[in-house]
Structure 1
C-alpha cells in the first residue's frame, strides 16, 4: 500500500489547524520517533555488547574503544544517502525499509557473539550496526518537511530526543540482563530488540505518510554543500551531537578502565547520561524557538566547557563522585545543545531566503529544500565527531592510562565552538559612519546580525 499526500503547506495556518495538517504531522511524528528510537538502540548495541566481553574474548581496552567507534563511523557516512532516500522513496516507505534493515546487525550479532570469536568478525558485525545511525538523518529530514518553521524546534527536538532515548533504553536492557542473568548472556539483549524492529516497521507501514511535494533534488544537496553555514553548523554539531553519541558509546568503558568498575557497576550508571541528554533535547528546541537557537547554543557551549573542566579535575583526583556529576552534566548540556543547534538550521535558510527577496510560501519552500538537504550533511559530520571522541579515548588510555588528555582536547573544542557561535550568529557587525549612501550603513544579508534570532 502506498500512502501519498499530494499537497502539503504547513505554513498556511488554515491548512495547519482547520485542514488537519497538524493532526497528520503529529501522527507521522509519533511513529517516526518509534522507528528512530529502535534505530538508536541498535546503533548503540556495541556500547553494551562490550560490557559482556570478559577475558574469554581476548580484547584489550583499546580494542574495545575501536570496536564501539566502528558503528559511529559507518552510521555517520550512511546519514548522507539516508537523507535523500526520503525524497526518493517517500518518508513512510523509507521508514519501513530502514527499520527492517536493522534486522541485519541484530540477527548477525545473535549468531556470532560468543567467547573465542575473532576480532575481525566482531568489527564487521559492528560496522553493519551503523545502519541504525542512518535512521536519524532520514527521520529528521522527513519530520522537517511536515512542520512549519514556528514549530520546528519543538518537533525536531521531540523526534531526535525520542530517538536519542534509544541509547539509554538499550543500556537499561543490558543492565537488566547483566543484573539477572549475568554478563555471559548478550543474546538476551538481542532477543528483546529483534521483535521490536518488526513491530516498528509494521506500524510505520500502517500509519505513516509520504509527502509528494518532497522530491529528490540533487541540486539542493549541491547548494547545501556549497553554503558555508552548512559547514559552520557541522562544526557546532560535532560539539553537541558528536559529544552525546561519543560519550554514550564510551561511558561504560571509561568507568571500567579509569575507575575499575565491574560490568554490572558500569551498567548501573551508563544509562543515566544518555537518558538525561535525550530528555532535555526537546527543551533545547523549545528554548531555541523562544529565545533563538544561536543564543541558547552559545551559552550551552560555555556550560559544556565548565562541565568538562570539572571532569578533568575529577579525573586527576580520581574522584568518581565528582566525575559522575561533571560527566552527566556534559550529557545534559550536549542534549540541550542538540535541540538548539538543529533548530538553527531551518531558521538560517529561512533568513537566507528572505535576504534573496522571497516571501511567504516561496521563502518557506526554499528553506525546506536547503535545510532538509543540509541536515543530512550536518548530521553525518556530527556523528563522525563521536568517532573522534572514541578514538581520542583510545589514544589517551593507550598512552596515558587515563581519559584526562582526551577531556582536555574536548575542552579546547568547546571553546572553539563558543567563539565560532558568537562570531557568526551573535556578533553585531561594526557599522561604518557616513550617510545613507555609505557602504557600511546597511549590514549585508550574510552578516551575523541577520541570524541572531535563528
Structure 2
C-alpha cells in the first residue's frame, strides 16, 4: 500500500502486525485508520485501567491492614504506599522500550499477565497477620508493575493517532488509566466488607477480607490478556532500535518536561496514594477494629481526589489542543499553587490529636473493647476537625483538578515538541518531511516513557514526605509537606513560562517553542 492508495485495506500478517500505517494521511485515516485506532485505544484503556488499580491497591488496603490484625506504624504504612510508586516509575523506561521491540499488542498481553504476581501474592499473605513487614514491602514493590503499564500504553497509542488528535487520544487513554485509582479506592472498601460510598454501605459483620479485592483484579487481569490477544494490533512502523529511543536522553526538552511532569502527574499519583492515610491520621480515630471509630472515615471520600484528577485529564488534553499545552500547563501550576495555599489554611484550623494508646493501654482495650470510652479531649478535637473537613476536602480537590488538567496538557506538549523539531528539519510535502515526522513520533513515544518514569517519582516522594520519620506529629508533617509542594509548584510555573512561553531574543527566535502551539 502507498500513501495514495488509501482505499486498499490495511495489510496484516501473522501475529496481528499491521505493515502499513499512515495516520497523517487524512484519506487513509477516514477510511481505515480511525476504526483500527479506536479499537486499540479502547482495550489499551482497559488494560491500563487495571494496571493503575493494582498499582494503587495499597493506597486503600494499607489503611485497612490494622483492621485485619496487622500492627504497623504510620511511617511503615506510608512507606508501603510509596514503594509501588517508586518501582512503577523505574520500570516505565523498559516498559516503553518494550513496545517497539515486542509490539504494542504483544506487550499489553505480557504486562497484563504480570499483574497476577502482585494480586495473587497479596491475596495469599494478607490473610496471615504473622507475615513480617518486609514481605509486604516486597509484595508492594511488585504492585509497581501496574505503574509501568501507563508508559507502554501511552507509547503504543501515540503511534496510532495523527498529530491533530494526539492530545485528545492520549488524554482519554491516560484518563482511563488514571480512573483505575479512583475505582480501586471507591470499590475496594465495599468488596472487602468495609464501609464505603459516603456511608451508604455499612461494614460487614464478618470483618475485613482484603484478599477479595486482589482476587477480583487477578481475574480481570486474565480478561485483559485475552482481550489484547483477540482485539489489539502491533504496528510495524513502531519498530525502533533501543539506541535510537534512548537518544532522547540527550535532548534537554526531555528533562525539562520530566521536571514539569513531576509537578503534574507526580502530584496526582502521590496525593492519590497518600490521601486515604492523610484523612485517617488527621480526621479519624479507632484504637482497635472492635471499637466504633469517630470522625471522618477515609473510605467514604478518599476516591474523590483521584476521580476529579482523572476526569480532568482529557479536559487538559482538549484545552491544550485548542490553546496550546504550555499555556494550559502554566495555568494548571497556578491552580495547584492556589489549592495548596487553601489546604495549608485549612490545616491551620485543625487541632492536634493526643497520641494513640500504646503498650498496656492498647492491650487493655483489645482485651475489653466494650468498656473503652474516648477521652473528652480527643472527642472534642475529632469533632472540631470534622467541621473543617469539607474545606480541607474542597481545597484538596482543587489541587487534583489542576493536576489532572496539567497531566493532559503536558502530554500534549511532548509530541508537539518533537513534531516542531521534525518540521524545522524538513520541507513541507517532501518524502523527507514524512520520514522526519515518523522519526519524531518514535522520539516522542520514547520520551513519553522517560518523562513518565521521572514524573512518577513524585508519587514516591509525596507519601515519603507526609510520613517523614523526623516529624513525630502527623499534622505537623502534613503542613511541612504542603509548604514544600507549594514552593515546587511556583518553580514549575516559572520554568514553563521561561522555556515555552517567554518571547526569545530575535537572534534565537528559531530555537524557541513560544508561539508554535506547544
TM over 0.5: yes
Is the counterpart of residue 368 in structure 1 residue 432 in structure 2?
no
Please state if 1:243 is matched with 2:257: no
Matches within 5 A, 1:67-216: 67-113=80-126, 114-176=128-190, 177=192, 178-179=194-195, 180-181=203-204, 184-216=208-240
* 1: CA distance, partners of 2:113 / 2:297: 33
Larger relative helix fraction: 1
- Counterparts of 1:331-370 in structure 2 under 5 Å? 331-359=400-428, 360-370=433-443
SS in 1 for 2:468: helix
Residue deviations 1:176-216 (CA, integer Å, cap 9, x gap): 13124365211121132121111111111100000011113
Residue range with higher mean Cα deviation, 297-306 or 255-264:
255-264
Change in CA separation of 1:210 and 1:188 when aligned onto 2, cut-off 3 Å? same
Listed one character per residue, the Cα deviations across residues 132-176 of structure 1 (whole Å, up to 9, x for unaligned) are 000000000000000000000000000000000000111111231
CA shift, 1:401, in A, is 2.8
Aligned residue number for residue 274 of structure 1 = 306
- For the Cα contact (< 8 Å) 2:63–2:280, is it kept in 1? no
Q: Deviations over 1:228-260 (max 9, x none)?
A: 000000010000000000001100000111222
Query: Partner residue of 2:281?
Result: 257
The partner residue of 2:511 within 417, 424, 446 is: 446
1:13-47 deviation digits (Å, cap 9, x = unpaired): 011002x1010000000000000000000000111
Contact 2:157 2:170 (8 Å CA) reproduced: yes
1:448 Cα offset (Å): 3.9
Distance in structure 2 (CA, Å) of the matches to 1:99 and 1:225: 28
Partners of 2:30 and 2:493 in 1: CA distance:
39
After TM superposition, give the deviation of residue 313 of structure 1 in Å.
Answer: 0.7
Structure 2 stretches lacking a partner, 5+ long: 1-13, 196-202, 287-292, 351-387
Report Cα offsets for 1:321-368 as digits up to 9, x if no partner.
211011111111111110000010000011111222354422321220
Q: What corresponds to 1:409 in structure 2?
A: 484
Distance, in Å, in 1 between the alignment partners of 2:60 and 2:410 is 28
Contact 1:427 1:448 in 2 (8 A): no
From the CA coordinates, give the structure whose radius of gyration is larger.
Answer: 2
Q: Which residue of 2 aligns with 1:324?
A: 393
CA contact 1:62–1:397 (8 Å) conserved in 2: no
After TM superposition, give the deviation of residue 265 of structure 1 in Å: 1.1
Once residues 358 and 397 of structure 1 are traced to their aligned partners in structure 2, the CA distance between those partners, rounded to angstroms, is 58
Cα distance between partner residues in 1 of 2:218 and 2:240:
31
> Equivalences for 1:12-27 in 2 at 5 Å?
12-18=25-31, 20-27=32-39
**Residue ranges of structure 1 left out of the alignment (5+ in a row):** 432-439
SS in 1 for 2:237: coil
Distance 1:357 1:230 in 2: 21
Structure 2 Cα separation of the partners of residues 396 and 336 of structure 1: 32
Is the 1:100–1:201 Cα contact (8 Å) retained in structure 2? Answer: yes
Q: Is the 8 A contact 1:87 1:214 kept in 2?
A: yes
Match of 2:380 in 1: none
Please state whether the residue corresponding to 1:111 is helix, strand or coil. helix
- Taking the aligned partners of 1:294 and 1:365, their CA distance within structure 2 comes to 23
**In structure 1, what is the equivalent of residue 379 of structure 2?**
none
CA shift, 1:430, in A, is 3.2
Distance 1:63 1:190 in 2: 21
Q: What pairs with 1:39-50 in structure 2 (closer than 5 Å)?
A: 39-50=51-62
Give distance in 1, aligned partners of 2:283 and 2:461.
22
Bigger drift between 218-227 and 32-41 goes to: 218-227
The answer on whether the counterparts of 1:396 and 1:405 sit within 8 Å (CA) in structure 2 is no
Equivalent residue number for residue 434 of structure 1: none
Which position in structure 1 is the counterpart of 2:327?
295
Shift of residue 423, structure 1, vs aligned partner: 0.2
SS of residue in 2 equivalent to 1:126: helix
Retained in 2: the 8 A contact 1:396–1:404?
no
Quote the Cα distance in structure 2 between the aligned partners of 1:45 and 1:33.
18
Q: How many residues align?
A: 442
Equivalent residues in 2 for 1:373-412 (5 A)? 373-395=446-468, 398-402=471-475, 403-412=478-487
> In structure 2, what is the equivalent of residue 231 of structure 1?
255
Alpha-carbon distance in structure 2 between the residues aligned to 1:174 and 1:329: 24
SS in 2 for 1:445: helix
Question: Which of these residues, 287, 299, 306, is aligned with residue 338 of structure 2?
Answer: 306
1:261 offset after TM fit, Å?
5.5
Give the superposed CA RMSD.
1.6
